[in-house]
A and B are shown apart, each in its own frame.
Chain A
Amino acid sequence: MKISKIELEELTCPSCINKIERTLSKKEGVQEVRVLFNSSQVKVTHQEDLISADQLVNLIEKLGYRVSGAVHSS
């Protein structure tokens, strides 16, 4: 299990939270998704062999959000 912290460009509309959380949590290998609206970050707990941090970034970008910052994994 791995926690990835993905930084997004400034999130402005709170409806983004649901959009991102719902889309990501439907994916296999994703255990928990939390959108930190106020710090414009997504924290994802996922199984790396099923879905990688890069794949997560890809999904978020497909929703129309730019990933701005580094992906911290721990």
Chain B
Amino acid sequence: MDREALLLDGGRDDGDETRDTAALAVELLGADGWRVTHLALREIEIAPCFGCFGCWVRTPGVCVIDDAGRDVARRMVQSDLLVYLTPLTFGGYSSELKKAVDRLIPNILPFFQSIDGEVHHVKRYERYPRLVAIGVAPSGPVDPEDEELFETLVHRNAINYRAPSAAACVIAASDDDAVRRDRIARVLEVDAGGGS
């Protein structure tokens, strides 16, 4: 069976911030044998989560909002690899990426358990995808503080969304193609191919 990758592209406005990086990630994954679904979230209407917990206590496992957010949640669980792509936004995710991430909570159970000395939610499914996140610093060099914060956020998300493993990297929009290709290939754990 093909390995499935879901790329959630949180580029804002016209998508200029992430378009090249998304294309590169799709190319690299495809060359490695992954079947990739690339969702440009700016083009998809997804209502914000309104924190009703209906997906836990009313329609367990399914968001009460009937829109594309449900499709994203389904695809997430059925993937082997989940890739977040986002313009680095105060060291975190853009609002475009976050509108989808917020709608993934049906995929965990409401019940609590202790994990490494903290309360977190129990798994709903047996398997979850590995999480990889790529942040694109829109201008200038990457600020090390932003980079460290982004990596922390991704690893925290991996705990809460029960990813078996996670990795993150930040690239600068100004990085040359070979550098970007190499960094993205490394975080995706695929071969960089002839471009590196």
The reply to whether chain A is a binding partner of chain B is no
Q: A interface vs B, CB < 8 Å? A: none
Q: B interface vs A, CB < 8 Å? A: none
